[in-house]
Structure 1
Amino acid sequence: MRIADEGYAVTDHYPEIHPDNTVFVFVSFEGPDRYSLAGGLGVRVSELGEVLARQGYQTHLIFVGEPSAEAHEVLWDGRLALWRVCQEISCHMRAGVYEGEQAKLERFQQVVPSLILERIARPAATTDQLLVVIGEDWHAAATMSAISDVLYWNGLRRRAILLWNANNTFGFDQINWARLAFTCQIMTVSRYMKQRMMPLGVNPLVVPNGIPGRHLEPVSDELVECFQQQFAGRLTLTKFARFDPNKNWLQAMQAVTRFKALGLRPLFFMRGGVEGYGHEVLSEIDKLGLRRCDLRLVNPAPARFLEAVAELPECDLIFMRFFVPEDVQRLLYRACDAVLANSGHEPFGLVGLEVMAAQGIAITGSTGEDYAQHLLDAVVLDTDDPSEIVGSLLYLRSHPELAEDIRRVGGLTSRFYVWETVLQKLISKLQYLVMTENAVFRGNNRLRSSDPPADE
């Protein structure tokens, strides 16, 4: 249970969280293995865990991992530990982390609490370290409550802060919200998500998602110039998203049709997923009379990608039916006239932020994209009307200096969302929880020598 609910006295002196006295644990269905990557969650926990390890924190990542890999693997000079669970089930279900989901979920809930207790919590307690456990999304909700119970029964709950983070609304109907809020501090990634969750009887803390620092590296000017010369006289757009109605694919296609009717010769680079809704998107393309070319490549370099596009017949849309490498993706973000990240429901909107980091022009929705400000660092849509996309881009075409300002300011905005900066936000929230939960752990030797030790 949360310590604030137990009535412990709060003192005036609190240790500061730092690498010498704090251990982090992430509990997530997804993880860094290719087997475990199904969406943004695996990327999130992998990148955040790596940043914590680089900054000196002992960090553990528990996830449903590759069945043929080691169950316990240590990286970053021992500071990052990977714990792969459910391998005895995964070895019979090779399609990925969500195949056999229910069986894995039951096993996950059984093994993770005891693993944390015996292999992580007890060793941390012997050295008076604070244990911070962060559960991700609905698969980890019941497990997080069970972790709280196990720590409480073994006299270790005051030595831990438990948070459960919502990256989206998937599985909310599977969660016992009263129990989760009693055992953990709830957290989410945007103010929009906070407002979506408050009717459930919870009031989450907000810590945004982040991007790795490498995304701030400039895209090659030479490649950008080659792209723009190759497609001179055309309006170039791109969209990377799952095939999902919330991603507003139909709005994007209808906007392309209207650009074509205006004689702007649009060229739309699109990359979707394997979802069934993709059939509806492709059917809409046919109904609108748009000419589509499918492009299949294997891990192309940017130069090879441009060559392959040049070999295609004249078309309005290029459907990239392959895994698009990051350097090709960032070239499209930077060199296209705009990137359509126009979701109708977006818990955070990582693509828009990645576009800004590449100094592209992101066209976002107006839900969880807290970072986006209309005509300052992005184009922010208020409706699902394709004419709003068309009108916004026509305005930028007649005000090229504003378009350049958006690219520049967007690049500056993205710097506030690198993982190192997001980590500062997380630590500040944890410092607040240290106070409200009166957590017991070793103090920071940089504090005043008169500070008393934490009460047992």
Structure 2
Amino acid sequence: MMKLDGAISPENTLFVLLCFEGPDIYSTAGGLGTRIAELSDALATQGYTTHLIYIGDSQKPSVEHRIEGRLILKRWSQWVSQYYPNGVYDGEEQKLYDYNESVPYHIYSEIVRPAAAEGKMVVIMGEDWHTAEAMMRTSDLLHWFGLRQRTLMLWNLNSLMSLHRIDWGRLNFVTTLCTVSKYMKHKMWNYSVNPLVIPNGIPARYLQPVDQDAVTRLRAVARQNDPRRFFLFKIGRFDPDKRWMMAIEAAARLKESGHPVTLFVRGGIEPHGADVLRHAYHRGLVIRDIEAKRPNLQQCIDLIEQAGPADVYNLRFFLPEEFVRVAYAAADATLANSGHEPFGLVALEVMAAQGIAVTGSTGEDYAISFENAIVTETEDPDEIVGYLLYMQRHPEEQERIRQGGYRTSSQFVWDRVIANLVSKLEFLARKQNVPLLPIQANAALHAPSAPQISNTKPASQAEEKVAEKHGV
């Protein structure tokens, strides 16, 4: 067995991240896009050369360098995306085919082979079901050319969608499976696999103080001259898993019991949104739709103030980060009360803004009820109502929860999550006997000779011929 003298560092390790979603607006449909954009940014900021390969905006450069050249964005399948302008999942199957056919050869010829020649290790991480096939093909290709032992391959699960399309036996054999919470780990046991848990993270900038003048103003607008009025906020896709009906019903019951409420909602374009708003209307809640085009923080507050009194404000526009954080801090509670939440990123962002998150009890491993959040155990709207009324009677509890949540969020900044990741990578390197030597010893390591591939474009004919020749 080769002695592993070194530790993982930017000098001897680089990262390749595979994901359908990415940092482009075109490429972001939910939390996955946020996760991969922030993870890649944090890795590069720490000094690691990081390649992010994702389904990119066809109108942007195919390759873009950021963070002093260490973060390399590779917008894949742009020739397909130009026919599907409505976002990353428009033309999903066509993009998936192209991704699977071309990404493995690019990783082998343009990333792993040069890195191995320099004695460096490559960590390849795939995200969710879309990348499972590409990860398996990449492992096979690297094995064929004698480079598999120069890589660590991890595949991470954030969502339960389309798991029936995964060859679990093969994927578990060629990669180390990971997920984002103990809840998801237990869900994956149903597929006879036992993943490592590496949690999600938040950017360190989220720990910066929120604009208190804006908090005071937004809270005054939401209270509508009634200091007893509850101010609630809910943001997320219009998906039944997010328990929108529970939130709407809780607001209606508060109003019926003599406790007025203002609820800001920001959903998506999903059909369930019509059911949610219809239920709010039938329960007697006054709804106002607010539309805008890319307003800033103060313009968002102006729009709400000018809309007039209401119980539910349906914010039908992109919310800037500054406004979202102010809303988290100003609200009496943000209803992140999902029935299925792999990790609970929204609740953690609420905590970082010193807000109060009402969570479900699935993937939010970090949430402790009435210590750093309010944790709901049932689907009963009266559970939310009861907890809100209790906090209204005990304002000292509100401040304690806000401070406890902030302390918790500081433990999940990306720098700490990456430290957790690196510790697991070093464990895997030892287990898999992947050579991990100090940078000065790298010159002794050389990649095996392999057929030259001069065409760097995805799925080129040259690459296909190499694959056919060697039976890959």
Partner in structure 2 of residue 382 of structure 1: 377
1:260 aligns with one of 255, 270, 275: 255
Name the SS for the 1:307 alignment partner.
Answer: helix
8 Å CA contact retained: 1:160, 1:439: yes
Q: CA deviation at 1:50?
A: 1.0
Alignment of 1:239-318 (within 5 A): 239-318=234-313
Corresponding residue number in structure 1 for 2:19: 28
CA drift at 1:12: 5.9
Are the equivalent residues in 1 in contact too, given 2:4–2:435 (CA < 8 A)? no
Matched, 1:234 2:220: no
- Partners in 2 of 1:223 and 1:210 — Cα distance? 26
Distance 2:309 2:122 in 1: 58
Give the structure 2 partner of residue 192 of structure 1: 183
Alpha-carbon distance in structure 2 between the residues aligned to 1:321 and 1:34: 17
Change (3 A) 1:12 1:442: closer
Q: Give me the whole-angstrom Cα distance separating, in 2, the residues matched to 1:226 and 1:96.
A: 35
SS at match of 2:367: coil
Unaligned runs of 5+ in 1: 1-8
1:5 counterpart residue number: none
Does residue 73 in structure 1 map to residue 68 in structure 2? Answer: no
1:95 alignment partner in structure 2: 86
Which one of the candidate residues 125, 133, 140 is aligned to 1:142?
A: 133
Distance in structure 2 (CA, Å) of the matches to 1:336 and 1:86: 42
Comparing 62-71 with 268-277, which one deviates more in the overlay?
Answer: 62-71
1:233-269 superposed Cα distances (whole Å, 9 cap, x missing partner): 3110010011111000010011001110121210000
5+ long unaligned stretches in structure 2: 449-472
Instruction: State whether structure 2 residue 407 is matched by structure 1 residue 412.
Output: yes
Which residue number corresponds to residue 338 of structure 2? 343
In 2, Cα distance between equivalents of 1:229 and 1:77: 43
In the alignment, the residues of structure 2 paired with residue 333 and residue 228 of structure 1 have an alpha-carbon distance, to the nearest angstrom, of 11
Q: Is the CA contact 1:133–1:160 (under 8 Å) kept in the aligned structure 2?
A: yes
Matched residue, 1:130:
121
Q: 1:155 deviation in Å?
A: 0.3
Residue number among 219, 225, 233 corresponding to 2:216 in the alignment: 225
Q: How far apart, in 2, do the equivalents of 1:21 and 1:64 lie?
A: 28
Moved more, 420-429 or 85-94: 85-94
What residue number does 1:56 align with?
Answer: 47
Residues 189 and 209, structure 1, Cα contact 8 Å, conserved in 2 = yes
What one-letter code is carried by the residue in structure 2 that aligns with 1:21? Answer: N
Q: CA deviation at 1:328?
A: 0.8
Select the residue among 379, 385, 388 that pairs with 1:393.
Answer: 388
SS across alignment from 2:307: coil
8 Å CA contact 1:17–1:444 kept in 2: the answer is: no
CA contact (8 A) 1:443 1:453 kept: no
Q: Secondary structure at the match of 2:288?
A: strand
Partner residue, 2:165: 174
Q: Distance in 2 between matches of 1:267 and 1:70?
A: 44
- The aligned counterpart of 1:104 is 95
Secondary structure at 2:390's aligned position in 1? helix
SS in 1 for 2:411: helix
Q: Are the counterparts in 1 of residues 7 and 436 from structure 2 also a CA contact under 8 Å?
A: no
Q: Distance in 2 between matches of 1:115 and 1:13?
A: 28
Q: Deviations over 1:151-175 (max 9, x none)?
A: 0000001000000000111111111
The Cα shift of 1:14 comes to 4.3
Q: Distance in 1 between matches of 2:94 and 2:185?
A: 31
C-alpha displacement of 1:192: 0.2
Please report how far the alpha carbon of residue 305 of structure 1 lies from its aligned counterpart in structure 2 after TM superposition: 2.2
C-alpha displacement of 1:444: 5.4
Q: Which amino acid in structure 1 is aligned with residue 47 of structure 2?
A: G
Separation in 2, partners of 1:209, 1:266: 32
Matched residue of 1:319: which SS? strand
- Are the structure 2 counterparts of residues 346 and 217 from structure 1 closer, same or farther at C-alpha, using a change threshold of 3 Å? same
Does the CA contact (< 8 Å) of 2:8 and 2:436 recur in 1?
A: no
Deviates more, 1:404-413 or 1:82-91: 82-91
Q: Which residue of 2 aligns with 1:156?
A: 147
Distance in structure 2 (CA, Å) of the matches to 1:321 and 1:80: 33
Q: CA deviation at 1:313?
A: 2.7
TM-superposed deviation, 1:344? 0.3
C-alpha separation in 2, matches of 1:307 and 1:180: 51
Could you say which residue in structure 1 is the equivalent of 2:198?
Answer: 207
Is structure 2 residue 114 aligned with structure 1 residue 119? Answer: no
Structure 1 residues 444 and 126 mapped into 2: Cα distance closer, same or farther (>3 Å)?
A: closer
**TM-score with structure 1 length normalisation?**
0.94
Cα distance in 2 between the residues matched to 1:92 and 1:229? 47
Distance 1:264 1:198 in 2: 44
Q: 1:86: how far off?
A: 1.0
Describe the superposition over 1:81-105 as per-residue Cα deviations: whole angstroms up to 9, x where unpaired: 1112211111111111111111110
Using structure 2 for the length normalisation, give the TM-score: 0.91
Q: CA RMSD in A?
A: 1.8
Aligned residue identity for 2:14: V
Distance of 1:215 and 1:173 partners within structure 2 = 36
Q: Residues 364-401 of structure 1: CA distance to partner in whole angstroms, max 9, x if unpaired?
A: 00000011110000000000100000111111111111
1:37 aligns with 2:32: no
1:227 & 1:276 partners in 2: Cα distance? 29
Aligned partners of 1:14 and 1:435 also within 8 Å: no
Q: Answer yes or no: is the 8 Å Cα contact 1:62–1:82 preserved in 2.
A: yes
Structure 1 window deviating more from structure 2 (359-368 vs 306-315): it is 306-315
How many percent of aligned residue pairs carry the same amino acid?
A: 45
Contact 2:337–2:360, Cα closer than 8 Å, also in 1: yes
CA contact (8 A) 1:16 1:444 kept: no
AA of the residue aligned to 1:16: A
